[in-house]
Chains A and B, each alone.
Chain A
């Protein structure tokens, strides 16, 4: 599986020695690597499917990120606990069942407590199931590592995914609508009203789906210009 193969290459595959402090340097790396050097979206190219369509508004992106953090953390823990009991031939189906059950939980909670956001996320909550980050991390990390490092890896990767999502959403909402709306607080305006008097218009292109791709492309550009060891061959 090529998506999973990519993850496998970049994953740090080693059993963590049991006698070490809870937050050793190695364990800290598991948390911090996915934020930049090994980011799931911009470096491992995983989980783009559901990431882009829901970045029109910051609140949607935040809800989606929290759902992924939850599914990723508990999924990694569950797979890691059962890693020696899962026969490798049927592991994909086992993983899908674990993710699907966690996603059903998330979906029911969203429907009950945040019905209008759940409506706007439409099918994308369900698509967390086939989110390649989750399958990729199960395959590359949780199947071969102890529970605690797997939990850290899950949180690290989910947060690496979340910050890109929120960054894209912030750019798109500020330039697309001129203000960011938070539930309970209302709209916070970022573009002053005087600008509009001078003939400034909101860029409606930002609200359309293709701009999400271009914004991510630009984030990749900035990241790789700073971090030159990530540059690919043509």
Chain B
């Protein structure tokens, strides 16, 4: 039951785009058509679903204060949490490389669909943000962390597909010249964010 709550919460209430603005750069750059937006969205779900649990294990068995106690009792006082940024980003960059190679070898069709988006994702703030929020909110089990990663990815997919659909339609409207392109996209995202705020009061 707890897992379902985390899932719903990370999709709607703590939406990566509307509540924290994570992954905005690729969100703005790749949202011109729905098709590419869907591709990037699924790539983000995929990578978040893999890197958050791995970083969870890293956090709980290596980095956290006292996490190294399993290796030797004398190491219980070691606190490596200041290394977490560099460890997390290293895991993300290498996992993205690895996933890219595996997908290319075993699922060429999927690679054709996701391929160009995978390298872009290593520097997507939403991915590192997922791991950092996982660390900050201190999920207790790996299942919770995985569900949180997947849910955040799904929320991101929803947001980018929504904005891409709106941008496809807005091509037919007469937007004031200085607002065309970037400006109107910002304002629409803001309005979508306000709509998503409706979920804010919900206690799960």
Contacts A53-B20, A210-B18 hold; do A1 and B184 have CB atoms under 8 A apart? no
Q: B4 near A: Cβ within 8 Å? A: no
CB-CB contacts below 8 Å: B85-102 with A = 85-86, 89-90, 93
Binary B-proximity of A92-118 (CB < 8 A = 1, otherwise 0): 110011001101100110000000000
Given contacts A101-B86, A104-B86, A224-B183, contact A2 B193 (CB under 8 A): no
Is there contact, CB below 8 Å, between A3 and B26?
yes
Total interface residues on B, CB under 8 Å, equals 55
A54 to B18, CA, bound (A): 14
B196 to chain A, nearest CB (A): 8
- Which residues of A lie under 8 Å from residue B179 when comparing CB positions? 217, 220-221, 224
Write the nearest CB–CB distance from A115 to chain B, whole angstroms.
15
A136 nearest CB neighbor, chain B only: B25
Select the stretch in A42-50, A175-183, A193-201 that faces chain B: A42-50
In the assembled complex, the CB of A44 is this many whole angstroms from the nearest CB of chain B, namely 10
Q: CB within 8 A of B123: which of A1, A48, A216?
A: A1
Interface-side segment among B41-49, B52-60, B126-134, B141-149: B126-134
Residue among B22, B179, B180, B182 facing the most chain A CB atoms (10 A cut-off): B182
* Nearest chain B CB to A140 CB, angstrom units: 14
Interface-central residue, B23, B83, B132, by most chain A CB under 10 Å = B132
Q: How far is the CA of A182 from the CA of B55 in the complex (A)?
A: 37
CB of B26 within 8 A of CB of A2, answer: yes
Instruction: Tell me if B191 is interfacial: C-beta within 8 Å of chain A.
Output: yes
Q: Which partner residue on chain B sits nearest A234 by CB separation?
A: B180
Instruction: Name which of B61-69, B70-78, B103-111, B170-178 contacts chain A.
Output: B170-178
Q: Which residue of A lies closest to B16 (CB)?
A: A49
For chain A, the count of residues having a C-beta within 8 Å of the partner chain is 55
| Nearest CB of B to A234, in Å | 5
Q: How far is the CA of A224 from the CA of B181 in the complex (A)?
A: 11
Q: Which of B174-204 contact A (CB under 8 A)?
A: 175-187, 189-194, 197
> B125 within 8 Å of A by Cβ?
yes
Task: Decide if B125 touches A216 in the complex (CB within 8 Å).
Answer: no
Q: A210-B193, A231-B177 are in contact. Are A132 and B186 (CB under 8 A)?
A: no
With A52-B24, A100-B89, A122-B136 known as contacts, the answer to whether A232 contacts B187 (CB < 8 A) is no
Pick the contact of B186: A92, A216, A223 (CB < 8 A): A216
Inter-subunit contact B180/A3 (CB<8 Å) = no
A107 neighbours in B (Cβ, 8 Å): 82, 85
Q: Are A3 and B120 in contact (CB under 8 A)?
A: yes
Q: Does B112 contact A (CB under 8 A)?
A: no
Which residues does chain B contribute within 8 Å of A209, judged by CB atoms? 18-21, 193
A120 CB → nearest B CB, Å: 12
Which residues on A sit within 8 Å (CB–CB) of B82? 104, 107-108
Residues of chain A within 8 A (CB-CB) of B21 are 48-53, 209, 212-213
Q: How far is the CB of B119 from chain A (nearest CB, A)?
A: 6
Residues of B contacting A108 in the complex (Cβ-Cβ under 8 angstroms): 82
For the complex of A and B, list the 9 residue pairs with the smallest distance between their C-beta atoms, beginning with the closest: A210-B193, A232-B181, A217-B186, A224-B178, A213-B190, A49-B125, A123-B132, A214-B190, A217-B187
Binding site for B on A (CB under 8 A): 1-3, 6, 42, 45-53, 92-93, 96-97, 100-101, 103-104, 107-108, 122-123, 126-127, 129-132, 135, 205, 208-214, 216-218, 220-225, 228, 231-234
Give 6 A-B contacts (CB < 8 Å), ordered by A residue: A48-B25, A49-B24, A217-B186, A217-B187, A220-B182, A232-B181
